[in-house]
């Protein structure tokens, strides 16, 4: 899955970019008060994308 697709999905469901690192971006969901890291690769594996959504409390993407 493309990283930009995952990030746009997270933004649609209220997740905010907390900070940028060298290899990861940290996202925060103010509703659940949880954070998760998204690797800065062009492709993110489907299993990792599911875990990131689950960690942040966002619904799963239907693109898988």
**pLDDT tens digits, residue range 1-53?**
999 999 999 999 999 999 999 999 999 999 999 999 999 999 999 999 999 99
Cα–Cα distance, 63 to 49 (Å, whole number): 11
Hey, what CATH topology would domain 3-56 get?
Metal Transport, Frataxin; Chain A (3.30.920)
Query: Which contiguous run of DSSP H or E holds residue 28?
Result: strand 24-29
Is residue 61 very low, low, confident or very high in pLDDT (cuts 50, 70, 90)?
confident
Whole-model pTM: value is 0.91
């Amino acid at each position: 899955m493309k990283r930009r697709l995952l990030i746009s999905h997270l933004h649609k469901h209220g997740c905010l970019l907390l900070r940028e690192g060298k290899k990861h971006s940290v996202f925060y969901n103010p509703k659940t008060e949880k954070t998760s890291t998204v690797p800065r690769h062009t492709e993110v594996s489907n299993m990792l994308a599911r875990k990131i959504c689950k960690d942040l409390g966002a619904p799963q993407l239907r693109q898988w």
